[in-house]
Amino acid sequence: MKILVTGGAGFIGSNLVRRLLSDGVERVTVIDDFFSGFRSNLDGVDVEIIEGSILDPEALTRAAADAHAIVHLAARPSVPRSIKDPLASHHANATGSLAVLEAARASHSHVVLASSSSVYGANPVLPRVEDQRPMPISPYAVSKLAAESYALSYQAVYGVSVLPFRFFNVYGPRQAAGHAYAAVVPEFTSRALRGEALTVHGDGLQTRDFTFVDTVTEVLSLAAREQRRSAEPVNLALGSRSSLLDVIEMIERETGRPLLIEHTAVRPGDVRDSHADTARLRRLFPEITAVPLEQGITATVDWMRQSLLAR
């Protein structure tokens, strides 16, 4: 069995590659242009690495050849980044996904695709149920909605087997901090360990359904290896709801120090609250292991502490 992971040198991708190998997948291939991923994330891992963009037809065709399944994670992440450069986000996330689906159609591969909870956008109803009307409020969210829509249309029209997941605030080891578009958990953790103030956009009471990366890779591995499919998008989250201030309190306990918080203006495109309905996920994956937020924060702080010491 061969599984291709697009964006396999990124945070989720590099964790997934390790999971696939531990689950007995014989061949794992990664295609990554290292825009947001790091080659060092795959140090010591027995995978074929093709350096290139999913927008490069030759590189993508070579990577997808003979693939049993493709887990499509390659993207230009971040809502603020998409607001700064919407065309680049569209090309990477929408056009790039279309290119992956074309490659899958040619190689007869199953496709597991990463969409985003950001597609719900301004829809005020909680929890987020997949049948709700998408109301994206950022170019990033629009590009992700386009990607999942393309995937479902390829299944309906061309018979390409697909499973589009809507990710909810994935966090954990190997998630980069220290840059303008860093996610909150690694950024808070890194700053806390360095003794720096934490920047919170808004009042900190905005909520997220934080999902530990090990839970995500468990689901993705099952979906790819067993070719589980769906005619509709599927939320990939635990159905929990925690505020940014809750997360900061947990990091304070783990680091053993009080943290200074600096509040700034709310960022354009940010969703106020996020909370997943998990009924569809539980039906498709009744065996998944849910990692509580406290346990995941402990693992993340431990990894970040070791990472900082190694520098």
Q: For residues 93 and 115, state if they share a domain.
A: yes
Q: What is the pTM of this model?
A: 0.95
Q: For residues 202 and 251, state if they share a domain.
A: yes
Range of the domain at 187: 171-208+240-271+291-309
**How is residue 302 written in tokens?**
């431990």
| Integer Cα distance of 5 and 211 in angstroms | 20
Q: Which residue, among 224, 191, 189, has the nearest Cα to 210 in the 3D structure?
A: 189
Q: For residues 162 and 255, state if they share a domain.
A: no
Residue 300 belongs to some domain of the structure: yes
Residue 278 belongs to some domain of the structure: no
Task: Give the CATH number, domain containing residue 197.
Answer: 3.90.25.10
Would you say 201 and 270 are in contact if contact means Cβ atoms under 8 Å apart?
Answer: yes
Q: Which residue, among 209, 294, 299, 288, has the nearest Cα to 249 in the 3D structure?
A: 294
Q: Which residue, among 254, 235, 144, 248, has the nearest Cα to 206 in the 3D structure?
A: 248
Q: For residues 20 and 105, state if they share a domain.
A: yes
Q: For residues 301 and 183, state if they share a domain.
A: yes
Q: For residues 83 and 122, state if they share a domain.
A: yes
Residue 245 belongs to some domain of the structure: yes
Q: Which residue, among 174, 121, 177, has the nearest Cα to 144 in the 3D structure?
A: 121
CB-facing half-sphere around the CA of 237: CA atoms within 13 A = 26
| Integer Cα distance of 274 and 241 in angstroms | 7
Q: For residues 11 and 138, state if they share a domain.
A: yes
| pLDDT tens-place values along the chain, 311 residues long | 999 999 999 999 999 999 999 999 999 999 999 999 999 999 999 999 999 999 999 999 999 999 999 999 999 999 999 999 999 999 999 999 999 999 999 999 999 999 999 999 999 999 999 999 999 999 999 999 999 999 999 999 999 999 999 999 999 999 988 776 568 999 999 999 999 999 999 999 999 999 999 999 999 999 999 999 999 999 999 999 999 999 999 999 999 989 999 999 999 988 899 999 999 999 999 999 889 999 999 999 999 999 877 76
| Integer Cα distance of 142 and 122 in angstroms | 12
**How is residue 183 written in tokens?**
């996610």
| Residue listed under structure tokens 């940010």 | 270
Q: What is the dihedral of CA 98, 168, 201, 267, to 10 degrees?
A: 30
Residue 284 belongs to some domain of the structure: no
**How many CB atoms neighbour CB 244 within 10 A?**
22
Q: How far apart are the first and last CA of the chain?
A: 37
Residue 134 belongs to some domain of the structure: yes
Say if residue 80 is preceded by a cis peptide, omega within 30 of 0.
no
Q: For residues 177 and 197, state if they share a domain.
A: yes
279 residue type, one letter: A
Task: Give the CATH number, domain containing residue 153.
Answer: 3.40.50.720
Number of domains, the chain: 2
